[in-house]
Structure 1
Amino acid sequence: MGSRIKTMKRQAAELGRIRTGYSRPNPNPDKGPIPVKSKTFVLTSHSRDYVAAAAELYGGKVEQWTPQRSSVAQWRVITEAPELRAILPAGDPLSQSYEMWGGGGCERRCDGEFESIKRQPCVCLAKFGEDWHERPPTQVCRPTSRVGVYLPDLPDVGVWRLETKSYYAADALAGGLDTVLQATEGKGLLPVRMWIEQRTRAVNGKTKQYQVVMVVPSLPKLRHALSGPISTAAALDPSSLDRPAIEAAPAERPDYLAEARACQTADAVREVWRRANVAGHVARDGSDELSRDLMQISRDIAAGVDPGTGEMTGDQDDDEQGPDADGVYDVEAYDEHDEPPVADASAVSWPQAAQPGSGARR
């Protein structure tokens, strides 16, 4: 059996990223690219095949693109679809922190109280006070939210990382996911719908626009989202949760008459009737035609008649061949005071109505 490094994180491969904005070239060559808030998601990846598949599914044009502060070209598509259908993996898929990035990578990463890289109290709070988040991103850390999701209609197994750096989006995203996690306890997969919602708010007498990434369960009804974990099959096809269960096909009815004709004794025929009764295929009081037919077969067998042909069986023929060479008949003798043996199915207990007259059919 193999072994694992216990401190190593175990996560699915990252196939690409889902972004809420992009940049366009600045007409002024002395200035950097101009950031643009997108109304639809932007999917980026090192693999052109993944981006091309996304463009075919969600619309948009595949183009080569190089991220800021990077020399490695990637591929991206600004999608045309108003929303994405995705699947949240099990566990808590959300990672959030306040971050500041520079040319050398991430310089600060903070949870709002403690900065983990340099191991110090929150720098932004100490320097600018409670409203530090209203400062421009060049002065303070930016709230960064990351969520890994599966896009089930794109190729290969792996996650696409949704990333947003909006302060208000971070709060709304966390609240929405917490509602989902509270319902599922983070167990199992959950289908979701994601879209970018444009909102406004008044700050110091001015109206500001901001984006919120909405992530809501993609289930037919609210009760499905709040009833706990669902199966993987339901996560891939949520509509199956609201479909009526397919009724099982009724079992084929046994051929009781054929079974009875193959019996050797009247008791065995009675057992066939008992099974038919348990299965609900005959009337409990034996008043139906099948019960009468089975009773007649039992009478025939008890009388030495083959129920299939209506002829006397070989044993009965032997009894009627007469005496042997010594004049002895091969029969059982009984005293005249003894009651003769019963050779008829009435010796076996049947419902009264299942004991037909001579007109019963075989």
Structure 2
Amino acid sequence: MGSRLLNIQRRAAEHGRLRTGCTQGGKPVRSATWVVTSHSEEHVRTAAALWGGEVEQWSPLNSSISQWRVITKSASVEALITPGDPLNQYNELWSKGGCQRRCDGETELLSRRPCICSARFGEDWHQQKKGVVCSATSRLNVMLPDLSGMGVWRAETHSFYAASEWGAMVDIVLAGTDGRGFVPVTLRIEPRQVVREGQTKKFPVVVVELRGVTPRQALAGPMTAAVALDPPGAGQAVAALEAARPDYLAEAEAALTPDDVGDVYRRAHAVGHLDDDLIGRLAAIADRLKAEAADPDEDGAYPAEVVDATP
């Protein structure tokens, strides 16, 4: 593998955006289906072929740069959560002059002041009229495996409810994969409603959910790229992933020396397959082999021990 610059952060190119709204007549309008926008006509036409809709040229609000857009007929798209931490969240307030506030929930980062919205309106600040307070802004980078290009697409929502759900979902996945490997998901626009002060309010929320794999497999460690790209379905995922995992205990049982068991241990450790149960069983096999051959060999060497090298 070649060298890399160490003083810059490597990241995939952004091919476009997945939006839950569009502009019609110069005004923003919510959409019940996904809106795909990009500078690439090819990407948008492929999205239209997959999910329906008519391709058109379009310019974002307050911009003169033309892009391509399709208002699809699909409320869900298949995607991959990419390695690393793909989620970025802030409470933000924008105007024609750009971003006026960017807050992490405790500190407004541009002025370095405590959260302005909560200080002014309390813990229910998000119920205030849009434009008066910040919007809970979540940006999730995903790969769309059926579109050309190796870059990412940015799904963005300003939903207060989606913000908490996206954060929880991504953090759970990262706890299982340590940010390594891809995870197949579905991004689905779900209609919801709340009753507040006697009035019913309807709104869309983007839900991120596992696709074709069970929580057991998503949390067991990084899955292979082949499984992430073509998940076999929840009913078959366990068998498919377990088939791809070596039978470390069978290999250890076939070992002739504790050193051979140590090799099995190191290979399992290198790919993140070690757990407390496997460590204990490998150690027991190594101890048994050591007891069976406690005398030094013809070179005077004693059997090696299996030790836990987990940090």
1:47 match: 40
Name 1:253's counterpart in structure 2: none
For residue 42 of structure 2, give the secondary structure of its aligned residue in structure 1: helix
User: CA offsets, 1:88-138, max 9 Å, x none?
Assistant: 111221100011112222121101111112222212122222221111111
Alignment check: 8 A CA contact 1:55 1:77 kept: yes
4+ residue segments displaced more than 6 Å = none
Query: Does the 8 Å contact 1:193/1:215 carry over to 2?
Result: yes
Structure 2: distance between partners of 1:168 and 1:175:
11
In the alignment, residue 134 of structure 1 is paired with which amino acid? Answer: Q
Which digits, 9 at most, give the CA deviation of each residue in 1:20-72, with x for residues without a partner?
111211xxxxxxx3322211111101111111111111111101111111111
Q: Greater relative contact order: 1 or 2 (C-alpha under 8 angstroms, separation 6 or more)?
A: 2
Identical residues among aligned pairs (%): 48
Number of the residue aligned with 2:270: none
Q: How does 1:15-30 map to 2 (within 5 A)?
A: 15-25=15-25
2:131 counterpart of 1:138: yes
Which residue of 1 is the match for residue 100 of structure 2? 107
Give the SS at the match of 1:178.
Answer: helix
Within 1, Cα distance between the matches of 2:243 and 2:119? 60
Are 1:221 and 2:214 an aligned pair?
Answer: yes
Distance in 2 separating the partners of 1:3 and 1:161: 25
* Deviation per residue, 1:193-223 (Å, 9 max, x gap): 1110011112222221122211111124343
1:153-302 map, 5 Å:
153-239=146-232, 241=237, 242-243=239-240
Match for residue 87 of structure 1?
80
Q: Alpha-carbon deviation of 1:140?
A: 0.9
Amino acid of the residue matched to residue 169 of structure 1? A
Structure 1: gaps of 5 or more residues: 26-32, 247-362
Name the SS for the 1:238 alignment partner. Answer: coil
Provide the residue aligned with 2:286 in structure 1: none
Report which of the two has the higher share of strand. 2
| Greater Rg by CA | 1
Query: 1:208 is matched by which residue type in structure 2?
Result: K
Query: What TM-score, normalized by structure 1, do the two folds share?
Result: 0.62
Q: What does the per-residue CA deviation read over 1:212-235, in whole Å, with 9 as the maximum and x for residues that have no partner?
A: 211111124343223221011111
Task: Calculate the TM-score normalised by the size of structure 2.
Answer: 0.72
Deviation (angstroms), 1:245: 5.4
- Residue 255 (structure 2) aligns with: none
Deviation at 1:10, TM superposition (A): 1.7
Quote the offset at 1:83 in angstroms: 1.3
Aligned residue pairs total: 238
- Unaligned stretches of 5+ residues in structure 2: 245-311
